[in-house]
Amino acid sequence: MRLVLELKRILNKPINIILIILLPLLLTIASIVFFNGFGIVNVKLGVYNMDNSPLSQFTIKLVMSFFKGGTLTYVDENYTKKLETGELNAVLIIPANFTNALYKGQKVSIDFIPSPVDLQLSVGIFNVLNSIFKDLSGTPFFDPKVLRYLFVSEGSPAPEFTPKAKNFSTEFGDLFSPAILFLSVVFLILSIGILSIVNDRELGLISIFKVNNEKWYKYALIKFTVLFVLGIIISLVVYFAGLTFGINIPINIFLPLALLGVLFHSSLSLILSSLSPNKTVANILSISFAMFFFFSSGSITPVSSLPKFMFKLASYTPVYKLTYAIRNYQLNGASILGEINYLLIISFITSAIMILTVKKEFAKK
């Protein structure tokens, strides 16, 4: 009964229902529509050169001339770890037959391997290089006999870049939207949950509950369950909305991550609400944490370019783990088990802290 009353308190006005459902939808759709113009300036590019000829060295220098402030690192076959940690935004693999193929007038494929960290930069790099190299096809840039001929024919094609990832989309809407599916739910839970306990305190309801011998654990369970149920409902709403826009994430991948994301952020919002002395502070905390999670998620702003300690901090946030897990799965079909285990542990710890803070709330005189 109390659970139903708590839901009614949140959904007591039509405008609340509209905002709870509409806001995540609008945020998801906006991410698809408005982020197609995202650009890049500084990149961290790795090159695995299997040819090591003067012509391949020229190609590498040409690539780096397109990026202001770009840094290039030569890597060996053990480059995967650098991509996974965000040390590199992408790796180019120049094949062993690079020079021979160009001498024969054949098109060469340079493998492009993106990083799941700051994937937006990987997409930007790929789009820039792919576009420019297409324009250079048929010009002297990639003719081995360039010193002997002023012009070349269409028989001297430029190398092309081939993404080596299962689902590497160069559409920025496809890139940002999966992360937005989580962020929109996080923002909603924080905005609702962070006022939950502090509002009851200011209205004197907690004092009434204590007088009526209301059990603190029952109160905590009701507050948490309402937030958790709303979070799951909205997660499913934005998930199916994403499907209509072509965001194809298997439900068995999305749902476990969504459940743990909702679990953590529901507990966190109740902790912040209990610790807030008044609604003003609660609102400030809500905005602050929402902005921190937005920037640390790596969904839009690059986090690998942050100072090391700040990147390390961002990489431990649950919203970063959610974004990384989805992107790594999309790119490489990688298991999400590592992120699931991390989220389970941190969600359990946060839930335990939430229980203690609510108990302390009821212990106040």
Instruction: Please state the pTM of the whole predicted model.
Output: 0.68
- Quote the pLDDT of residue 159: 62
What would the mean pLDDT of 67-90 be, rounded to a whole number? 78
Higher pLDDT, 252 or 169: 252
Which of 187, 199, 340 has its CA nearest to residue 265?
187
* pLDDT above 60 (res 282): yes
User: Which positions ≥6 away from 340 have C-beta within 8 Å?
Assistant: 256, 257, 260, 325
What would the mean pLDDT of 118-125 be, rounded to a whole number? 75
- Quote the pLDDT of residue 66: 60
Q: What is the mean pLDDT of the chain?
A: 76
What stretch of H or E contains 326? helix 318-332
> Which of 45-59, 125-139, 308-322 bottoms out in mean pLDDT, i.e. has the lowest?
125-139
- Quote the pLDDT of residue 3: 65
Confidence band of 37 (pLDDT split at 50, 70, 90): very low
Confidence band of 132 (pLDDT split at 50, 70, 90): confident
Distance CA 223, CA 344 (A): 20
Distance CA 131, CA 129 (A): 5
- Quote the pLDDT of residue 12: 62
Confidence band of 49 (pLDDT split at 50, 70, 90): confident
- Quote the pLDDT of residue 6: 63
Q: Are strands 44-49 and 109-114 parallel, antiparallel or unpaired?
A: unpaired
Domain covering 44-163, topology: abc type-2 transporter like fold (3.40.1710)
* pLDDT above 80 (res 137): no
Conformational region of residue 105, where left means phi above 0, alpha means psi within -120 to 50, and beta covers everything else: left
The DSSP letter of residue 142 is G
- Quote the pLDDT of residue 145: 59
- Quote the pLDDT of residue 149: 46
Conformational region of residue 129, where left means phi above 0, alpha means psi within -120 to 50, and beta covers everything else: alpha
Report the 3 state secondary structure along 2-41: HHHHHHHHHCCCHHHHHHHHHHHHHHHHHHHHHCCCCCCC
Q: What is the CA radius of gyration of the chain?
A: 26
Beta bridge partners, 74, equal 47
Helix, strand and coil content of the chain, in percent to the nearest 5, comes to 65, 5, 30
Q: Are strands 71-74 and 160-163 parallel, antiparallel or unpaired?
A: unpaired
> Which of 113-127, 245-259, 331-345 bottoms out in mean pLDDT, i.e. has the lowest?
113-127
* Local structure of 49: helix, strand or coil: strand
Q: Are strands 109-114 and 90-94 parallel, antiparallel or unpaired?
A: antiparallel
- Quote the pLDDT of residue 106: 74
Higher pLDDT, 272 or 188: 272
Task: Write out the two tokens for 277.
Answer: 């002395």
- Quote the pLDDT of residue 147: 38
Confidence band of 75 (pLDDT split at 50, 70, 90): confident
What would the mean pLDDT of 80-104 be, rounded to a whole number? 82
User: Which positions ≥6 away from 236 have C-beta within 8 Å?
Assistant: none
- Quote the pLDDT of residue 65: 64
pLDDT in tens, 227-278: 999 899 888 888 887 777 667 788 898 899 999 999 999 999 999 999 988 8
Task: Write out the two tokens for 14.
Answer: 């039509």
User: Which positions ≥6 away from 85 have C-beta within 8 Å?
Assistant: 117
- Quote the pLDDT of residue 173: 46
* pLDDT above 90 (res 34): no
DSSP string, 186-233: HHHHHHHHTTHHHHHHHTTHHHHHHHTT--HHHHHHHHHHHHHHHHHH
* Local structure of 162: helix, strand or coil: strand
Higher pLDDT, 178 or 193: 193
Domains in the chain: boundaries: 2-34+172-363, 44-163
What would the mean pLDDT of 154-160 be, rounded to a whole number? 55
What would the mean pLDDT of 107-133 be, rounded to a whole number? 78
Give the chain's end-to-end CA distance (angstroms, integer).
27
- Quote the pLDDT of residue 154: 46
Other beta carbons within 10 angstroms of residue 98's beta carbon come to 21
User: Which positions ≥6 away from 174 have C-beta within 8 Å?
Assistant: 32, 246, 247
φ, ψ of residue 207 to 5 degrees: the values are -60, -40
pLDDT in tens, 284-296: 888 888 888 887 8
Distance CA 35, CA 174 (A): 10
Distance CA 224, CA 222 (A): 5
DSSP string, 71-137: EEEE--S--HHHHHTTS-SEEEEE-TTHHHHHHTT---EEEEEE-STTHHHHHHHHHHHHHHHHHHT
- Quote the pLDDT of residue 8: 63
- Quote the pLDDT of residue 269: 94
Confidence band of 119 (pLDDT split at 50, 70, 90): confident
Distance CA 179, CA 287 (A): 19
